[in-house]
A and B are shown apart, each in its own frame.
Chain A
Amino acid sequence: MTAAEIARDVSAGRISAAEITASTLAQVDAVEGDVGAYLTALNDLARAYATRVDERISAGERLALAGVPIAVKDNMCLEGTRTTCGSKILEHWIAPYSATAVARLIQAGAIPIGKANCDEFAMGSSCENSALGVTRNPYDLSRVPGGSSGGSAAAVAASEAAIGLGSDTGGSIREPAAFCNLVGFKPTYGRISRYGLIAFASSLDQIGPLTRTVEDAALAYDLMAGYDPMDATSLNRPVGRTADSLRSDLTGLRVGLVREFDTKVLGERSDALYREAYRELERLGAELVEVSLPTADYGLATYYLIAPAECSSNLARFDGVRYGLRVEGNDVAAMYDNTRAAGFGAEVKRRILIGTYALSSGYYDAYYVRAQKARTLIGRDFARAFAQCDLIACPAASCPAFEFNAKSDPYSMYLMDYYTIPMSLAGVPALSVPCGWTVPEGGRLPMPLGLQLCAPLFGEQLLLGAAHAYERATNHASAHPPETGAVRS
């Protein structure tokens, strides 16, 4: 069932939140051994919340997410629950407060089923950088679910939740959504409060939903979006309801195809799928135009200076003094060293080192300042492109879900986000919507691909509206894989 269907049924009294929760927990029990989506199960809390929702419903309250089971990425605080960021350094940390986005969904009747696995501090594209657990792609257990929001994606794909909460810094919602045949939506930077989202790169981090349908994504977004006085970077401007903007055709819209993003490099099968996706947009009434993002190719280099620079500072607080892991030493400095050496994984350390270097005196202008300038240019590229089109369409990821340990050198992993990073740097809203199945090179089972759609700043209504039309026309989202998936819902 989709989130919208559950909310409708629970609201109408056709089924109780308690029953939905019980069946979701049963599904978790059945598949978690294979999938491993969650780091922390919240069974008791989920049941308690379900009881509360049923009470509110019978008291006549209208709840937009009545009884909808959600998976909360483990870099978001939920008061009283373990919040680890997939890191040993926070393995036993209990959040003393709730993230605004999470609180807004729960207030609307959502039931938190568990805290979902992720790459450590959201740094990664496969969930393999989690220090605390392995998450497998429900469509092929030998493959990764994507990342960093891989746990949330796997949970929704395996029907262990109807909505997965993810965070996207350079593609961490869109790529796992593509890998798990989901809709993954990153709104405009600042639309959804980051309060309570444990920061990776503050100027890029954005919370968003991973869902089975565009309608569900719109439902979750509408509830989470909007100004939060606790986040100085949250946008203080009206949010247009996206649930009312879902369309069934693309008449009158110009969709830009990016000249620099030639899908031929993705191989014949993927190329064919994306060409078909673009043709579908045209069939729906869109006019396809070619646009150029000449600086997009610098996205990766730019991103891997700005994001590590911010993370080197954001992660300084994990020092063993006040909370989290502490490994004693002879003095404070040794305690810091020991704690951080033991607490952080290799990728996190790599990025802290890169970022520290990029901000160091003597290198700052050459790296950080230049990267900021490049970021401005990338933003201008998007502005120019959007003068010629209403939406941009391109791949969401460089390939379908890959096997574990397939991307062992960091750079090949970084390349996974080649198509998603420019949008993050520009702050524009973008989403991945399922666009078909392909058997990967050397693979056995067909795996999904994602089409990325991207709109100008604040263009969420247009973006979700158009994605909805594509989704209805193609039905990839609700379709099961042509061959039997590893885990069936």
Chain B
Amino acid sequence: MNPAYEAVIGIECHVELKTATKMFCGCRNEFGGEPNTKTCPVCLGMPGALPVPNAKAIEQIVRTGLAFDAEIPAFSKFDRKNYFYPDMPKDYQISQYDMPLTVGGVVKYWLEDGTMKQCRLTRVHLEEDTGKSTHAGSGDGRIAGSAYSLLDFNRAGVPLMECVSEPELHSARDAVAYLESLRRTLLALEVSDVKMEEGSLRCDANVSVRLAGTTQLGTKSEIKNMNSFRSVERAIASEIARQIEILDSGGRVVQETRGWDELHGVTHPMRSKEEAHDYRYFPDPDLTPIAVARNDVERLKSELPTLPWQRFERYTGEYGLGVNAATQLIDNLSLARYFDAVVVRSGNPQQSSNFVLGELSRLANETGVDVANSKVTVEDLAQLISLVESKRINSKIAKELLGRMWEGAGSPSDIVEREGLAQTSDPSAIEGFVDEVLAANEKVVADYKAGKLNVLGFLVGQVMKASRGKADPALANELVKKKLSS
């Protein structure tokens, strides 16, 4: 990016909550299914039907706010956002206008180099999702030129979280890192699947640029139609470049909504500010104000799970793990929880990470079984680590043992005991293997003595093999050297 300019980005996300039922009726909240099978008079906006709020959804928004350290006002309310659209059954959306469930807050996120950054939130509020239109007859699924449109209201009334950031992000990479952190947090809270491909996470970006060092915000455009984190990154980068080009050539950026064209890698104008709706928000008279009890807030706060950024700081700080390892663990929540438990028992984060991300993850991938659900219990892995630490077994044996444990052979100390796999640190026992190997490899021994010192490794390897891996490798090395030079 041209260093003379600074980009300013705000992200607005819509996240479908993972509740059993919809926001204002008893219909099941599930993705997909035969069109219009998960509907009732309420979510179809039938005459006379009334909304009744889903308490679980309200609780999930409060938990989300608390996870981002937001303020939870004592009172909140639902408002109607009025506009006509065929897939919106009542031609108004029940949303929140001036009294959202949560106000403010901070999303902490980290970059690939491990830098921890933060972006403040404006608000997180609760609303209902719309139905889905499928435009037919135009060939490309677009509304323009379509002969008719099909409506599916299975999604109508699904609880939807709107999460609005302050304009505090300054690059496409920051924006994606912010989104990743948001996504990880919502997964940790178990409030949503947060799948962009299924539409349970949708986001728009407000992008503007200004001269570096100035504080006045430039004219923004709102970017829509981004279907993956990658397209978010590309779209924002492309929009920043477009605006800089306009400013560089003496032009002015127009405030408008632009759609991202994935295929051509550019944004297109969708509508200008003049076409903006007057949504005529007003308090929904079908719903009473929401009183959020302080003791509920305190309870929900105390029940929050460990948050991804907290894990990241612990892993890379206290535990000394690399950014990649830390991120890899955090991105697999059940693995991270398993890892945390192993660290608590073993006291050895590095070894725990090596086993969990290495051999165990390999086995998990191979078999399709989650590590956390595997036969390798936290206790067994911690025991394995302590066997390695105390040099009762070496790492090669440990890996082999892990394979046996995965298949359900029992605890590592039992297997070691049963099968005599304990590492041998008894010099006399190892000496026997050394003599055996040296006798069988006269030519190699001669090479060594002639100055070809690099064959040492081969000889030590043979000793390890002869001991069936049990020999203490350091001791074996020392003894081979000693014998050769005697």
A85 partner, pick from B47, B151, B280, beta carbons under 8 A: B47
Q: Which residues of B are interface residues toward A (Cβ below 8 A)?
A: 41, 44-53, 80, 82, 84, 86, 89-92, 151, 278, 280-282, 285-288
Complex alpha-carbon distance, A76 and B48, angstroms: 7
Please give, as numbers and ranges, the residues of chain A lying within 8 Å of B46 by CB-CB distance: 96-97, 323
CB atoms of A313 and B92 under 8 A apart: yes
CB atoms of B47 and A90 under 8 A apart: yes
Given contacts A76-B48, A77-B47, A95-B48, contact A317 B91 (CB under 8 A): yes
CB atoms of B84 and A319 under 8 A apart: yes
Within 8 A of B (CB), among A70-124: 75-77, 83, 85, 90, 93, 95-97, 99
Please give, as numbers and ranges, the residues of chain B lying within 8 Å of A99 by CB-CB distance: 48
- Quick one: closest B residue to A205, CB to CB? B285
CB atoms of B285 and A321 under 8 A apart: no
Within 8 A of B (CB), among A368-386: 368
Complex alpha-carbon distance, A90 and B46, angstroms: 11
Please give, as numbers and ranges, the residues of chain A lying within 8 Å of B53 by CB-CB distance: 232
Is A290 at the interface (CB under 8 A from chain B)? no
CB atoms of A359 and B50 under 8 A apart: no
CB distance from B232 to the nearest CB of A (A): 30
CB distance from B144 to the nearest CB of A (A): 10
Q: What are 8 A-B pairs with beta-carbon distances under 8 A?
A: A77-B48, A195-B49, A198-B47, A199-B47, A232-B51, A232-B53, A317-B91, A322-B44
Please give, as numbers and ranges, the residues of chain A lying within 8 Å of B91 by CB-CB distance: 316-317, 319
Given contacts A232-B53, A317-B91, A356-B280, contact A310 B285 (CB under 8 A): yes
CB atoms of B47 and A313 under 8 A apart: no
B280 partner, pick from A197, A229, A318, A361, beta carbons under 8 A: A361
Given A196-B48, A229-B52, A322-B151: 8 more A-B contacts, CB < 8 Å? A96-B46, A97-B41, A195-B49, A232-B287, A313-B80, A313-B82, A322-B89, A333-B84
CB atoms of A321 and B86 under 8 A apart: yes
CB atoms of A313 and B48 under 8 A apart: no
CB atoms of B90 and A316 under 8 A apart: yes
CB distance from A186 to the nearest CB of B (A): 17
- Quick one: closest B residue to A234, CB to CB? B50
CB atoms of B287 and A233 under 8 A apart: yes
CB atoms of B52 and A231 under 8 A apart: yes
Complex alpha-carbon distance, A85 and B91, angstroms: 19
CB distance from B392 to the nearest CB of A (A): 64
Complex alpha-carbon distance, A194 and B288, angstroms: 14
Within 8 A of B (CB), among A274-315: 309-310, 312-313
CB atoms of A232 and B52 under 8 A apart: yes
For B48, B286, B287, the residue with the greatest tally of chain A CB atoms inside 10 Å of its CB is B48
Please give, as numbers and ranges, the residues of chain B lying within 8 Å of A364 by CB-CB distance: 280, 282
Q: Which residues of A are interface residues toward B (Cβ below 8 A)?
A: 75-77, 83, 85, 90, 93, 95-97, 99, 194-199, 201-203, 229-233, 309-310, 312-313, 316-319, 321-323, 332-333, 336, 356, 359-361, 364, 368
CB atoms of A316 and B82 under 8 A apart: yes
Complex alpha-carbon distance, A199 and B45, angstroms: 12
A96 partner, pick from B41, B80, B280, beta carbons under 8 A: B41
CB atoms of A359 and B52 under 8 A apart: no
Given contacts A232-B287, A233-B286, A233-B288, contact A359 B48 (CB under 8 A): no
- Quick one: closest A residue to B81, CB to CB? A313
Given contacts A361-B278, A361-B280, A364-B282, contact A317 B287 (CB under 8 A): no
CB atoms of B282 and A313 under 8 A apart: yes
Please give, as numbers and ranges, the residues of chain B lying within 8 Å of A83 by CB-CB distance: 47-48
A317 partner, pick from B90, B282, B285, beta carbons under 8 A: B90
The 3 closest A-B pairs by CB, nearest first: A316-B91, A202-B285, A203-B285
Complex alpha-carbon distance, A36 and B242, angstroms: 69
Complex alpha-carbon distance, A309 and B283, angstroms: 11
For B53, B84, B285, the residue with the greatest tally of chain A CB atoms inside 10 Å of its CB is B285
CB atoms of B47 and A317 under 8 A apart: yes
Please give, as numbers and ranges, the residues of chain B lying within 8 Å of A95 by CB-CB distance: 47-48
CB atoms of B82 and A359 under 8 A apart: yes
Please give, as numbers and ranges, the residues of chain B lying within 8 Å of A230 by CB-CB distance: 50, 52
Please give, as numbers and ranges, the residues of chain A lying within 8 Å of B44 by CB-CB distance: 322
Complex alpha-carbon distance, A197 and B282, angstroms: 21
CB distance from B179 to the nearest CB of A (A): 31
Please give, as numbers and ranges, the residues of chain B lying within 8 Å of A316 by CB-CB distance: 82, 84, 90-92
A197 partner, pick from B48, B51, B89, B90, beta carbons under 8 A: B48
- Quick one: closest B residue to A229, CB to CB? B52
A359 partner, pick from B84, B86, B282, B287, beta carbons under 8 A: B282
For B49, B90, B288, the residue with the greatest tally of chain A CB atoms inside 10 Å of its CB is B49
CB atoms of B280 and A313 under 8 A apart: yes
CB distance from B277 to the nearest CB of A (A): 10
Please give, as numbers and ranges, the residues of chain B lying within 8 Å of A336 by CB-CB distance: 84
B50 partner, pick from A96, A194, A332, beta carbons under 8 A: A194
Complex alpha-carbon distance, A155 and B156, angstroms: 40
B45 partner, pick from A93, A232, A317, beta carbons under 8 A: A317
Complex alpha-carbon distance, A196 and B40, angstroms: 13
CB distance from B143 to the nearest CB of A (A): 9
Please give, as numbers and ranges, the residues of chain A lying within 8 Å of B82 by CB-CB distance: 312-313, 316, 359
Please give, as numbers and ranges, the residues of chain B lying within 8 Å of A333 by CB-CB distance: 84
- Quick one: closest B residue to A362, CB to CB? B278
CB distance from A143 to the nearest CB of B (A): 30
Complex alpha-carbon distance, A229 and B50, angstroms: 10
CB distance from B357 to the nearest CB of A (A): 49
Please give, as numbers and ranges, the residues of chain A lying within 8 Å of B90 by CB-CB distance: 316-317
CB atoms of A195 and B50 under 8 A apart: yes
B286 partner, pick from A85, A198, A232, beta carbons under 8 A: A232
Given contacts A232-B52, A359-B82, contact A93 B47 (CB under 8 A): yes
CB distance from B251 to the nearest CB of A (A): 30
CB distance from B384 to the nearest CB of A (A): 55
Given contacts A202-B285, A361-B278, contact A317 B89 (CB under 8 A): yes
CB atoms of A195 and B48 under 8 A apart: yes
CB atoms of A231 and B282 under 8 A apart: no
CB distance from A372 to the nearest CB of B (A): 9
- Quick one: closest B residue to A76, CB to CB? B48
CB distance from A230 to the nearest CB of B (A): 6
- Quick one: closest B residue to A309, CB to CB? B282
- Quick one: closest A residue to B83, CB to CB? A316
Please give, as numbers and ranges, the residues of chain B lying within 8 Å of A195 by CB-CB distance: 48-50
Please give, as numbers and ranges, the residues of chain A lying within 8 Å of B151 by CB-CB distance: 321-322
Complex alpha-carbon distance, A316 and B215, angstroms: 43
Complex alpha-carbon distance, A168 and B50, angstroms: 18
Complex alpha-carbon distance, A386 and B463, angstroms: 102
Please give, as numbers and ranges, the residues of chain A lying within 8 Å of B41 by CB-CB distance: 96-97
Complex alpha-carbon distance, A410 and B46, angstroms: 29
CB atoms of B45 and A231 under 8 A apart: no
Please give, as numbers and ranges, the residues of chain A lying within 8 Å of B50 by CB-CB distance: 194-195, 230-233
Please give, as numbers and ranges, the residues of chain B lying within 8 Å of A312 by CB-CB distance: 82, 280
Given contacts A96-B41, A203-B285, A319-B91, contact A332 B48 (CB under 8 A): no
Complex alpha-carbon distance, A232 and B23, angstroms: 13
For B51, B82, B286, the residue with the greatest tally of chain A CB atoms inside 10 Å of its CB is B286
Complex alpha-carbon distance, A198 and B41, angstroms: 12
Complex alpha-carbon distance, A120 and B44, angstroms: 22
Complex alpha-carbon distance, A201 and B284, angstroms: 11
Please give, as numbers and ranges, the residues of chain A lying within 8 Å of B285 by CB-CB distance: 201-203, 233, 310
Complex alpha-carbon distance, A90 and B47, angstroms: 9
Please give, as numbers and ranges, the residues of chain B lying within 8 Å of A233 by CB-CB distance: 50, 285-288
CB distance from A85 to the nearest CB of B (A): 7
Complex alpha-carbon distance, A217 and B379, angstroms: 72
Given contacts A232-B53, A360-B280, contact A202 B47 (CB under 8 A): no
Please give, as numbers and ranges, the residues of chain B lying within 8 Å of A319 by CB-CB distance: 84, 86, 91
Please give, as numbers and ranges, the residues of chain B lying within 8 Å of A359 by CB-CB distance: 82, 280-282
For B46, B47, B51, B280, the residue with the greatest tally of chain A CB atoms inside 10 Å of its CB is B47
Complex alpha-carbon distance, A96 and B46, angstroms: 9
